[in-house]
């Protein structure tokens, strides 16, 4: 368990070998994903139907649809980060074919940003005490976004998936005050597990209801 967003499909993630020139092409054969440059990182959508890749060499993001029938990845959308400083962004998540979650380089007022890869529109997720370095962020299966912040606030912030009336904006749903932790896990189903600095104590919250659910202690032998 490492200190970053965790997906129940972590093992599957290691089974994919993403090689651009072997991936099924666009219908428009004149378009080449990442212009043939190497892929720096890939992430899965929570429903395991899409993959997003980023190329630091090409400064571009491509979203792919997973075609289970033919065991192929089909490119569906590309966004060149022309307005961003090259190599200053890390790809952290993708939600279906449309939204990607990017982390800025350290030292920025807000670490994370959501980009509509089709339109290029951006949204910075803001909430009280959320400025500065955030340990990690992740899309959930229901479309919400969770951000975990350590010192000095030690909170998990939840942002609700946009609806038609919200103008495609994630809205701050609430936050959970958590203990000083050693490691954490966010499941795609919306569970937050915190391993405390005190050995062998794990606490669990439901990120949809924002309620504490359980505490697990290692049995003495």
Give the DSSP per-residue string, 39-95.
P-EEEE-TTSSEEEEEETTTTEEEEEEEETTTTEEEEEEEEE-TTS-TT-EEEEEEE
pLDDT digits (tens, 9 = 90+) for 177-194: 998 888 899 998 999 999
pLDDT digits (tens, 9 = 90+) for 70-84: 678 888 888 888 756
The predicted pLDDT at position 166 comes to 57
Structure tokens at 169: 């904006």
Secondary structure letter of residue 108 according to DSSP: S
Assess whether the previous peptide bond of 152 is cis (omega < 30° from 0). yes
Q: What is the span of the domain harbouring residue 163?
A: 10-217
Within-domain flag for 125? yes
Dist. CA 175–CA 178, nearest whole Å: 9
Within-domain flag for 4? no
Within-domain flag for 2? no
The number of domains in the chain is 1
Q: Average pLDDT, whole number, for the chain?
A: 79
pLDDT digits (tens, 9 = 90+) for 42-54: 999 999 999 999 9
The predicted pLDDT at position 108 comes to 65
Residue 175 sits in a domain of what CATH number? 2.120.10
pLDDT digits (tens, 9 = 90+) for 136-195: 899 999 999 999 998 888 999 999 987 766 566 889 999 999 988 888 999 989 999 999
216, β-bridge pairs? 202
171, β-bridge pairs? 160
The predicted pLDDT at position 10 comes to 40
Q: What is the mean pLDDT of residues 12-20?
A: 42
């Amino acid at each position: 368990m490492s200190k970053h967003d965790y997906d129940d499909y972590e093992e599957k993630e290691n089974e994919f070998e993403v090689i651009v020139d072997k991936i099924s092409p666009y219908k428009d054969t004149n378009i080449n994903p990442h212009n043939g440059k190497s892929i720096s990182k890939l992430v899965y959508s929570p429903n395991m139907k899409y993959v997003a890749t980023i190329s630091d060499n090409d400064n571009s993001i491509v979203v792919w649809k997973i075609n289970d029938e033919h065991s192929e990845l089909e490119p569906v959308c590309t966004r060149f980060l022309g307005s961003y400083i090259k190599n200053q962004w890390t790809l952290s998540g993708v939600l279906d074919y449309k939204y990607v979650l990017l982390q800025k380089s350290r030292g920025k007022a807000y670490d994370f940003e959501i980009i509509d890869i089709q339109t290029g529109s951006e949204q910075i997720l803001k909430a009280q005490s959320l400025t500065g370095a955030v340990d990690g962020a992740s899309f959930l299966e229901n479309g919400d976004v969770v951000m975990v912040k350590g010192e000095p606030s030690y909170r998990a912030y939840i942002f609700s998936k946009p609806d038609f009336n919200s103008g495609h904006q994630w809205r701050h749903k609430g936050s959970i005050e958590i203990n000083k932790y050693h490691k954490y896990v966010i499941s795609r189903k919306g569970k937050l597990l915190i391993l405390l600095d005190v050995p062998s104590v794990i606490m669990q919250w439901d990120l949809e209801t924002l309620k504490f659910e359980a505490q697990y202690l290692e049995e003495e032998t």
